[in-house]
């Protein structure tokens, strides 16, 4: 029988980041993932926002060119709204390279990583388990924690492009027939064109890969002579951070915790920030054995920071008419409309930054 301090289930960015931080504290950490290689089964689009790029040491060689320009399109694709930031707002990463970098960092810190291993792990007993196993978390169910109930599904194909034309641009198409409850996108950073869409699974008009291809052809974003170099996709939780994230036997991070912006569906920044809090809380709990430490990992408190975005998520999910979307675009072209869109896309607000350390248990 193998006994470990912490078993981390899932070797994505949240799991590897949490594992590295806990191993640096001196804990015996084992990471398992059912995938045999981390470049398979990638779900995230890999879009990092400015605040993440500023606050975390990401591997620069795995990041695409910076993007400052966003263009929003109505269903007709006519009369788009262009927004340009004075700062570098987005960079799209090669997530296989980012995962490899995170894996190497976790191992350097002392964490052991085993790929091709499913949870629960035969012969392994953990003092504490960290569920980093995605939107449909098995760890959450086994530990009796909350599970994601509100999901959209997305898919993306990535194509090489010649570059040298327009500046790097993030194109967003709002069309409730094509991407109900979310949007379709083309991110052209001059190196690759990332073509994708996401939406409510109960209202999608067909299989996601076919919808992505049809949208790409309509948008003129599919290179005629070259097939995709990467495909990725999967479920995305958009119901906000779950309320019950931790118990005496373990806690949740990343998509398993619902750590995804309800409005934009961005999950890379939340997964890193919440993982820092998870590592701090877990470390103190293992040192003290005081279950009250886990109160610092309170999903209900974090949810309060997202009330506005949760309301906007419900409103977006309820839009079914392309005519209603088209009618909203004249408002986006006004000064207040452009300012509101810029706040959402370029604002400094992000996931609450809970990077806190304690040396004693809370009173």
pLDDT tens digit sequence for 6-61: 999 999 999 999 999 999 999 999 999 999 999 988 989 999 999 999 999 999 99
pLDDT level of residue 358 (50, 70, 90 thresholds): very low
| Percent above pLDDT 90 for the chain | 80
Q: What is the pLDDT of residue 161?
A: 86
Mean pLDDT taken over the chain: 92
Q: What is the pLDDT of residue 362?
A: 38
Q: Are the C-beta atoms of 15 and 112 separated by less than 8 Å?
A: no
Q: What is the pLDDT of residue 222?
A: 77
pLDDT tens digit sequence for 213-268: 999 999 988 766 567 888 999 999 999 999 999 999 999 999 999 999 888 889 99
Average pLDDT on 191-211 reads 95
Q: What is the pLDDT of residue 352?
A: 60
DSSP labels, 275-334: HHHHHHHHHHHHHH--GGGGGGS-HHHHHGGGHHHHHHHHHHHH---HHHHHHHHHHHTS
Average pLDDT on 105-127 reads 98
For 146-182, b where at least 16 C-beta lie within 10 A, e where not — what string? bbbebbbbbbbbbbebeeeeeebbbbbbbbbebbbbb
* 3-state DSSP percent of the chain in helix, strand and coil, to 5: 35, 25, 40
| Percent above pLDDT 70 for the chain | 94
- Non-local CB neighbours of 224 within 8 Å, separated by 6+ positions: none
Q: Is the pLDDT of residue 271 over 90?
A: yes
Residue spans per domain, the chain: 2-346
Phi, psi dihedrals of residue 138, rounded to the nearest 5° = -75, -35
pLDDT level of residue 273 (50, 70, 90 thresholds): very high
Q: What is the pLDDT of residue 359?
A: 40
pLDDT level of residue 308 (50, 70, 90 thresholds): confident
- pTM value? 0.94
* CA within 13 Å, CB half, 227: 2
Q: What is the pLDDT of residue 116?
A: 97
**CATH hierarchy code of domain 2-346:** 3.50.50.60
């Amino acid at each position: 029988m193998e006994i470990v301090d912490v078993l981390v289930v899932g070797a994505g960015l949240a799991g590897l980041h949490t594992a590295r931080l806990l191993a640096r504290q001196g804990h015996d950490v084992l990471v398992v993932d059912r995938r045999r290689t981390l470049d398979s089964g990638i779900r995230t689009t890999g879009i990092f926002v400015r605040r993440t790029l500023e606050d975390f040491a990401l591997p620069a060689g795995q990041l695409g060119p910076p993007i400052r320009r966003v263009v929003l399109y109505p269903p007709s694709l006519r009369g788009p709204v262009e927004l340009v930031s004075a700062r570098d707002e987005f960079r799209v990463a090669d997530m296989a390279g980012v995962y490899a970098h995170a894996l190497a960092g976790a191992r350097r810190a002392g964490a052991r990583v085993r790929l091709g291993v499913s949870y629960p792990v035969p012969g392994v007993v953990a003092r504490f388990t960290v569920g980093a196993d995605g939107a449909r978390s098995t760890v959450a169910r086994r530990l009796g924690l909350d599970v994601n109930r509100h999901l959209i599904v997305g898919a993306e194909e990535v194509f090489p492009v010649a570059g040298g034309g327009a500046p790097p641009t993030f194109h967003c198409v709002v069309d409730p027939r094509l991407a109900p409850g979310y949007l379709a996108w083309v991110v052209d950073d001059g190196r690759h064109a990332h073509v994708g869409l996401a939406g409510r699974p109960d209202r999608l008009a067909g299989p996601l890969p076919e919808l992505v291809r049809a949208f790409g052809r309509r948008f003129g974003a599919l290179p005629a002579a070259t097939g995709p170099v990467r495909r990725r996709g999967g479920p995305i939780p958009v119901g906000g951070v779950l309320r019950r994230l931790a118990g005496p036997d373990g806690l949740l991070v990343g998509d398993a915790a619902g750590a995804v912006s309800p409005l934009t569906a961005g999950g890379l920044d939340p997964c890193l920030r919440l993982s820092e809090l998870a590592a701090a809380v877990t470390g103190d709990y293992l040192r003290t054995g005081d279950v009250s430490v886990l109160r610092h990992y309170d999903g209900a408190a974090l949810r309060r920071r997202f009330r506005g975005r949760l309301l906007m998520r419900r409103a977006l999910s309820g839009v079914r008419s392309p005519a209603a979307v088209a009618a909203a675009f004249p408002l986006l072209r006004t000064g207040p409309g452009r300012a509101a869109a810029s706040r959402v896309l370029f604002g400094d607000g992000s996931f609450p930054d809970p990077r806190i350390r304690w040396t004693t248990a809370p009173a």
